[in-house]
Structure 1
């Protein structure tokens, strides 16, 4: 409810005026109680405290971005970019010998791949929704990969194609 206390009081005055035009006299306190009941409060004191309370603004959040641990840049690029069709959006190293951290995207799906110790845990599973799983399967099968040949499985959440990466993580592309 986005009413202020002043707006509720104005509604009580308007109610008194409308009832008076119908020949029904109601005091201001009674009109406030009636407005409070219309707002779902048990009485005016409860309604005015509720209406005057500052509203908590829920912070907005964005999409979740999983961080997957990788141990070999060449193997990661081979699977994620060359085979699965993700595009590298950016990459970062503190210096040329430092571990790699990069962001890849395919459509609306964004993943962070990190060589940093402590980022991600090998064995992580990421579920990625797709609109046409068969088309994705055909696309990656046409590219081929020396270590990966996923199929499409039926599962309770819909058809699923699981692609293991060389680091123990699994990408589960699914179509609900």
Structure 2
């Protein structure tokens, strides 16, 4: 089960109650901040933007998984795996020599990459929320990709954004929601 902001709020209530039993009083806001830090996030605002939410959708809709069209998976694999740090969850071909369809994952983000004609449009863009765009930027700068030198657009709609273009021309916009 993925952690939701409701789960994090419940954890903050439990933390506050446990501390109160030990004679330590903190505000609910302070408890939320502590839970966010325990989750490895900068603050509660970041946590509430990044964490999923539970709603009353009886159909149980999940997070969408974008399909990015590419020409050859072998050409983009080093970009996604070695540079961006995604892991290949699975790969599928109907038979040898047929186009590849693969799912990649990093954290809560899932991307499907497809060599199939008609799956997605080359040059698509995907907006991906991140807890700390500066940390991602530093990570990517250390890897020194030969053809990618991303910067952070601090005035981008939605918050500071780091944009990279994959070898097939698809744009990934990593945004730290404000």
Q: Which has the higher contact order (CA 8 A, sep 6+)?
A: 2
Find runs of 4+ consecutive structure 1 residues off by over 4 angstroms: none
In structure 1, the partner of 2:128 is 128
User: How many residue pairs were aligned?
Assistant: 120
TM-score with structure 2 setting the length? 0.65
- What's the TM-score once normalised by structure 1's chain length? 0.66
Unmatched 5+ residue regions in structure 1? 1-56
1:18-47 CA deviation, whole Å, 9 max, x = no partner?
xxxxxxxxxxxxxxxxxxxxxxxxxxxxxx
Residue 156 (structure 1) aligns with? 157
Larger Rg, first or second structure (1 or 2):
1
How big is the shift at 1:156?
A: 2.5
Which digits, 9 at most, give the CA deviation of each residue in 1:35-89, with x for residues without a partner?
A: xxxxxxxxxxxxxxxxxxxxxx842201100000011222210111110000000
Give the equivalent residue in structure 1 for 2:62. 62
- Aligned residue runs from structure 1 range 79-118, under 5 A: 79-118=79-118
Q: Map Cα deviations across residues 84-115 of structure 1 (whole Å, 9 max, x no partner).
A: 00000000011120111000001000000000
Separation in 2, partners of 1:134, 1:58: 37
CA distance in 1, matches of 2:98, 2:75: 17
Q: Find the residue that maps to 1:166 and give its secondary structure.
A: coil
